[in-house]
């Protein structure tokens, strides 16, 4: 009698188990030790069966990376929900970004892992979602309507400030300083006017 096909929910459960096994191997031995055969052994299935859920090792790593970015997006969304004005939203997002990098360092490194010099498309799409609260806050902070390209330049400047500080802190290059890279500073850098109130994003 033919085996009944798995439902989408059942497939999702298998993928999650396989992803969890891959993450354990990665954390203990490094990404280079993650193999389809090793993951299959961890979850008690054949390597051939696992190919039903993932095309290859890179597909599994990309899946894990998207999960890490989604975790970052969730933390940023939570920070946005607790803030009020756009200025406070930017500040809260900055704090949440740095906190994620410090408190979930492995997740942070995985989120920005670049295979062959580039983050996988799925992770990039998730990053777009993660940064949307920042785009929305900046769009509300500028004096007048600006093009999406202009808004994106400010967002990139602020994000670069957060990310650069997080990387420097992880490397032990800075300690105790409180960087400020608010919307007004970014606007001055990129030649775009903002509202009189600074966005005041700071990271600890």
Task: Domain ranges for the chain, please list them.
Answer: 1-54, 64-204
Quick one: pLDDT band at residue 71, thresholds 50, 70, 90?
A: very high
Measure Cα distances from 13 to 9, 22, 33 in Å.
6, 14, 23
Report the Cα–Cα distance between both ends of the chain, in Å, rounded: 61
Which positions ≥6 away from 107 have C-beta within 8 Å?
A: 68, 71, 72, 100
Residue 4 has pLDDT above 70, yes or no: no
Lowest mean pLDDT of 68-72, 130-134, 144-148, 192-196, name the range.
192-196
Helix (H, G, I), strand (E, B) or coil at 129: helix
Write down the architecture of domain 1-54 according to CATH: Orthogonal Bundle (1.10)
- Strand partners of residue 202: 180
Quote the pTM value: 0.76
Could you give the C-alpha distances from 63 to 16, 76, 92, 140, 199, in angstroms and in order?
Answer: 10, 20, 28, 34, 34
CATH top class, domain 64-204: mainly alpha
- Mean pLDDT computed over every residue of the chain: 80
- The reported pLDDT for the residue numbered 1 is 47
Segment 98-116 shows an average pLDDT of 88
């Amino acid at each position: 009698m033919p085996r009944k096909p798995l439902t989408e929910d059942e497939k999702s459960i298998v993928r999650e188990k396989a992803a969890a096994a891959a993450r354990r191997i990665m954390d203990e031995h490094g990404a280079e030790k993650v193999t389809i055969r090793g993951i299959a052994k961890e979850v008690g299935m054949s390597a051939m069966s696992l190919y039903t859920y993932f095309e290859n090792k890179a597909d599994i790593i990309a899946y894990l990376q998207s999960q890490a970015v989604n975790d970052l997006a969730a933390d940023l969304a939570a920070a946005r929900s607790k803030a009020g004005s756009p200025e406070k939203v930017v500040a809260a997002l900055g704090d949440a970004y740095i906190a994620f990098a410090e408190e979930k360092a492995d997740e942070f490194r995985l989120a920005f892992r670049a295979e062959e010099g580039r983050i996988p498309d799925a992770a990039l799409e998730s990053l777009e979602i993660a940064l949307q609260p920042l785009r929305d806050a900046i769009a509300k902070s500028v004096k007048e309507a600006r093009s999406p390209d202009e808004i994106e330049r400010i967002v990139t400047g602020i994000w670069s400030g957060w990310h650069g500080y997080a990387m420097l802190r992880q490397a032990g290059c800075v300690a105790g300083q409180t960087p400020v890279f608010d919307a007004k500073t970014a606007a001055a850098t990129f030649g775009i006017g903002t509202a009189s109130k600074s966005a005041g994003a700071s990271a600890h």
